[in-house]
Structure 1
Amino acid sequence: MARKLTIFICALFAFLQVNCQEGILHVSVGSQEKEYCLVYNSYFSNISVSLNDAIDYQLVNLSSSFLCSSSDVRPNELKGRAVVVMRGNCTFGQKAQVAQDSGATTILIASEEPLVTPFVNVTEYGQVKIPVALMRYRDMEDAYKTFGDSVSVKLYAPPTPVFDFSILAILFISTFTVGMGGFWSGAAEREKLNTAPMGGDSRGRTDSGNLSLYCLVRFIMFVAFAWVMLVLMYFFYAYFVYVMIVIFCVVSTTALYSCLDAIMEKLGCATLSFSCLGKGWSGRSLLLAALCIAVAVLWGVYRNEDRWIWILQDLLGIAFCLNFMKTFSVSNFKKCVILLGLLLICDVFVFILHFLTKDGQSIMVDVTLGPGSIAEKSGGKMVTVPAEPIAPFEKIPMVMQVPWFLAPNPCMMQFYILGYRGIIFPGLLVAYCHRFDVWTSSPKRIYFMSCTIAYFLGMVVTFVVVILSQMGQSALLCLVPFMLLTSGAVAWRRGEMKRFWAGTVYEVLDTSKKPSLPDVL
């Protein structure tokens, strides 16, 4: 069985390969070699999918010419060779036709402008039989500076797998965060019940000391505020993105401190108390605060360094989500249904709205990725790559992100992302399920475990849809039905639906008494 499963996964992985319009230029002289970014058009003439199968050509430097006519090249100068020319003065098709007529095997077009997939009129596609690709002008200069005038080049474009193991990393991060946040919330509830005075009204105050999403009006206001912020970010991204960055730094610092302090407390680490200026201070708290501030500042300074800063962003994001699920609580299943239902309706509306936008892109994807992430949203159809190092566009940090592992790209890093909405709001339901387990002393935390498994399965379905559709999706579209139906089914099967729906520890433990706090819902 395991062998058949392995064969099936390998076959699926081999099948799920797509040819993109980005390639690699391999430049070498003797044992020295270096690789650069290419953007090409496979409709002219496709290139090899591996370096070993690629043909080696001598490169002729005609970067002082635009190669718009045959007079720009000497007889037999390009025969059997690759040629690099400058972009401009004529179309890509004209340059390619002149190079082909002169005997060139490949034409590289050096560009000081952003690289786009080279295109021509439909009638010209059948006439050009050689590979046509754009490269950065600065890369061409670097190649000749590094290797000299006589260089050999190979063009290849390894197929980009639709499935990447970074999906599994995102799946692990999200499931771990939701599960751990729900576990923390239930553990905090158990501690409160153990320390509460017997017979007091505090038993009915399930959210004492915490912020509670309490009534229908607050739910609607909360969801409406999130929706308004989404729309404002879409239309005024350049301004609001910096507000979100500042908020993220402040909130994530506090959240990371809360998580680390809880871990230290659980491990029994000493507080290292001391007195200064007549006041008592905790050395452990000061050290943790300094560490958390340093991490947030480091992220803030290097937030656009894609190659490694995602690790810090995910660390801060996990802490933010954990602290949110522990601090905010929903006191019954009815409120979970209302909250998640309202969010689901909004996401369905956004999903439908993307069909009406001029570029077919959803508001949520535009806001999440930022207006400068054209290539990330292209799906491999039309590629735009910056020609020069420029100030990177700012992105909203409220996402978990993991770079592609199997498809390293010399043009730009590509990520799989998951917004915090797909973690914290489903996490509120998981946290409620664990608290209900605590209130009813349910065996093996049946509600918590089943809801967490439902979240995992919902995320799996979400990623399958993303892979098959090649389009970003809201995780809540799958998560909400999976989790609500699963939790409701468990409560119904155990004959506890009435108590699960009403919630509150006071009602669960003593249904003969009225709750000490009025409940609007």
Structure 2
Amino acid sequence: VITPFRQACAKHLGLLQINADEGILHASGNGVTPLTKDYCIAYNSNWITLPSSLDNATFRSLENLTSTVLCDSSEVPAVVMKDKAVVVMRGNCTFLEKAKIAQSLGAKMLLIASKARLSPPSDNKTDFENLSLPVALIRYNDIMDMQLTLGNEINVTLYSPPLPEFDCSMVVIFVIAVFTVALGAYWSGIAELENLKATASPGDRETRRKKEENVTFTTLTVVLFVVICCVMLILLYFFYKWLVYVIILVFCLASAMSLYNCLAALIGEIPFGQCRIVCGNRNIEVRLIFLAAFCIAAAAVWAVFRNEDRWAWMLQDILGIAFCLNFIKTLKMPNFKSCVILLGLLLLYDVFFVFITPFITKLPVVIRVPRLEYSAATLCDMPFSLLGFGDIIVPGLLVAYCRRFDVQTSSSSVYYVSCTIAYAVGMVLTFVVLALMKMGQPALLYLVPCTLITSSLVAWRRKEMKKFWKGSSYQVGWMP
């Protein structure tokens, strides 16, 4: 299970890896109404320390020398570089050689334009002890954009604002998670109520149980499910290059089907537009055919454009929410005993693969929300706060069981409401620990105890623990 806010490196799915040595180049023109614009830079924080704000930054006039690579001091006259910020092209010589030449010619800042992907300089720290000018890499296209936007007379400075302790994306993640768990469990309760209404006779009840065996977890299937998760994660570590496309395909199929089920349930409540056509021996609503085409198209668009980080995350979240809702509604835990086994095993699984072996590749199925606070990371890469589907589905199965138990025992939603609140408290606790420890957290470490303990206390307080633990063996028939 992927922990919240861990920055993943699954580029195949568009999850960006955040570079710790990223800063901002603030450029301003010299017009009557000066224009300003920020650009991403990469630097080595072991060599230089950039100011955290523009208040402490020093502006330098920019000299564009991208016609040279500055591997020889004779390439540029000293008078051209005196007390200026100089930008040169990346070439065959090292960053250290460029920096020594630039400093000897009087430059106060060295920018190295690169047409390749930005990566911070990696020479030894001791080699730069005698250098005083900051050295940073910038995209060549940004230099061209700078001249087109701001003109030829440009002043620049470098700074690196710190990442905020709290980002509003956490609030969005919280709302999505709690909403999905609450709605999925409520939907499961509605389905349970409809089943109980339709099974007034004992014979019909047995038929219903046989029908639901395909979507009900037993103790054995719970253990097998966890074993399969562990095996799959290990296989991903060794064969990620190939298996990632299998996961993409499975996610597309499952999310398209889930989105269809969610929207079909809503469309079914609309009393008009129910035109039907005959296909074989079945009457099919035309609107459902268009709905199926729409859901398949949505999944296909995500698969093709999943690396478009400016908007693809929204489509991934919609598909992910639908997937979680359908999973929580469809898969039924038969009793609290199975819930304890499932949540307990997945808790150990989550802690092991996050704390003990953090290098293991994480399953690339997550809710993504871009960080909303302005920083070098948001300018360079648009990083995301992440929450794994498992951190929604696994506790959601327990909340759904609580909702169905409420329906079966006519207990006025006390289990459902209590467990949903406990899930929300567990999410808040995860955020607090995340902010304090400043590292990725296994969300189930906090969600599982909160939900299990709360459900147990409610059952104990109501003197229904035996019914709650055994589940279907003690189900009470529906009473109109």
Determine if the TM-score, normalized by the shorter chain, exceeds 0.5: yes
- The answer to whether the Cα contact below 8 Å between 2:119 and 2:137 also exists between their aligned partners in 1 is yes
- Which TM-score applies when normalising by structure 2? 0.87
Letter in 2 for 1:46: T
Alignment match, 2:12: none
For residues 393-408 of structure 1, what are the structure 2 equivalents within 5 Å? 396=364, 398-407=365-374
Distance 1:344 1:102, change over 3 A: same
Alignment match, 1:367: 362
Which segment is superposed worse, 410-419 or 460-469? Answer: 460-469
Q: Distance in 2 between matches of 1:20 and 1:229?
A: 30
SS at structure 2 position matched to 1:65 = coil
Shift of 1:256: 0.8
SS at structure 1 position matched to 2:387 = strand
Q: Distance in 1 between matches of 2:345 and 2:26?
A: 52
Which segment is superposed worse, 300-309 or 190-199? Answer: 190-199
Q: Distance in 2 between matches of 1:191 and 1:21?
A: 57
Q: Does 1:431 align with 2:400?
A: yes
Letter in 2 for 1:473: Q
- The answer to whether the Cα contact below 8 Å between 2:260 and 2:292 also exists between their aligned partners in 1 is yes
SS at structure 2 position matched to 1:329 = coil
Alignment match, 1:24: 24
Shift of 1:148: 5.7
Alignment match, 1:495: 463
Q: Does 1:236 align with 2:205?
A: no
- The answer to whether the Cα contact below 8 Å between 1:210 and 1:329 also exists between their aligned partners in 2 is no
SS at structure 2 position matched to 1:109 = strand
Letter in 1 for 2:402: C
Q: Distance in 2 between matches of 1:121 and 1:438?
A: 67
Aligned with 1:255 (options 258, 281, 284): 258
1:483-508 per-residue CA deviation (whole Å, 9 max, x = no partner) reads 1111111111211111100001x523
Aligned with 2:276 (options 256, 259, 273): 273
Q: Does 1:101 align with 2:87?
A: no
Alignment match, 1:86: 89
Q: Distance in 2 between matches of 1:63 and 1:270?
A: 64
Q: Distance in 2 between matches of 1:446 and 1:490?
A: 8
Alignment match, 2:170: 167
Shift of 1:126: 4.0
Alignment match, 1:464: 432
- The answer to whether the Cα contact below 8 Å between 2:185 and 2:401 also exists between their aligned partners in 1 is yes
Q: Does 1:411 align with 2:380?
A: yes
SS at structure 1 position matched to 2:64 = strand
> Which structure carries more relative contact order (alpha carbon 8 Å, separation 6+)?
2
1:434-472 per-residue CA deviation (whole Å, 9 max, x = no partner) reads 0111111113x1111111111111112222233333332
Runs of 4+ aligned structure 1 residues displaced above 6 Å come to: none
Alignment match, 2:346: 343
Aligned residues with identical type, % of pairs: 48
Letter in 1 for 2:27: V
- The answer to whether the Cα contact below 8 Å between 1:21 and 1:42 also exists between their aligned partners in 2 is yes
Shift of 1:279: 5.7
Q: Does 1:454 align with 2:422?
A: yes
Shift of 1:174: 0.8
SS at structure 1 position matched to 2:79 = coil
Shift of 1:203: 6.7
Alignment match, 2:447: 479
1:375-401 per-residue CA deviation (whole Å, 9 max, x = no partner) reads xxxxxxxxxxxxxxxxxxxxx3x2110
Letter in 1 for 2:22: E
Shift of 1:42: 3.9
Distance 1:114 1:80, change over 3 A: same
Alignment match, 1:320: 323
- The answer to whether the Cα contact below 8 Å between 1:213 and 1:219 also exists between their aligned partners in 2 is no
Which segment is superposed worse, 127-136 or 89-98? Answer: 89-98
- The answer to whether the Cα contact below 8 Å between 1:36 and 1:139 also exists between their aligned partners in 2 is yes
1:190-226 per-residue CA deviation (whole Å, 9 max, x = no partner) reads 1111121244461795574463344332222111112
Q: Distance in 1 between matches of 2:460 and 2:282?
A: 55
- The answer to whether the Cα contact below 8 Å between 1:321 and 1:423 also exists between their aligned partners in 2 is yes
Shift of 1:474: 2.4
Letter in 2 for 1:35: D
Alignment match, 2:119: 116
- The answer to whether the Cα contact below 8 Å between 1:211 and 1:329 also exists between their aligned partners in 2 is no
Alignment match, 1:180: 183
Alignment match, 1:440: 409
- The answer to whether the Cα contact below 8 Å between 2:199 and 2:208 also exists between their aligned partners in 1 is no
Shift of 1:88: 4.2
- The answer to whether the Cα contact below 8 Å between 1:212 and 1:331 also exists between their aligned partners in 2 is no
Shift of 1:61: 2.5
Q: Does 1:333 align with 2:331?
A: no
Q: Distance in 2 between matches of 1:286 and 1:351?
A: 43
Alignment match, 1:4: none
- The answer to whether the Cα contact below 8 Å between 1:237 and 1:367 also exists between their aligned partners in 2 is no
- The answer to whether the Cα contact below 8 Å between 1:68 and 1:95 also exists between their aligned partners in 2 is yes
Shift of 1:89: 4.1
Letter in 2 for 1:428: L
1:59-91 per-residue CA deviation (whole Å, 9 max, x = no partner) reads 122334343454444233222210112334444
SS at structure 1 position matched to 2:459 = helix
Q: Distance in 2 between matches of 1:84 and 1:73?
A: 12
Which segment is superposed worse, 280-289 or 93-102? Answer: 93-102
Distance 1:413 1:190, change over 3 A: same
Q: Distance in 2 between matches of 1:274 and 1:69?
A: 78
Letter in 1 for 2:299: A
Letter in 1 for 2:437: S
Q: Distance in 1 between matches of 2:301 and 2:213?
A: 30
SS at structure 1 position matched to 2:379 = coil
- The answer to whether the Cα contact below 8 Å between 2:46 and 2:125 also exists between their aligned partners in 1 is no
In the alignment, structure 1 segments of 5+ residues that lack a partner are 1-18, 355-360, 369-395, 511-521
1:309-344 per-residue CA deviation (whole Å, 9 max, x = no partner) reads 111111111111111111110110000011111112
Distance 1:465 1:278, change over 3 A: closer
Aligned pair count reads 454
Shift of 1:255: 0.8
- The answer to whether the Cα contact below 8 Å between 2:302 and 2:312 also exists between their aligned partners in 1 is yes
1:278-337 per-residue CA deviation (whole Å, 9 max, x = no partner) reads 863312212322222222222222211110111111111111111111111011000001
Q: Distance in 2 between matches of 1:165 and 1:343?
A: 28
Letter in 1 for 2:283: G
- The answer to whether the Cα contact below 8 Å between 1:63 and 1:86 also exists between their aligned partners in 2 is yes
- The answer to whether the Cα contact below 8 Å between 1:50 and 1:156 also exists between their aligned partners in 2 is yes
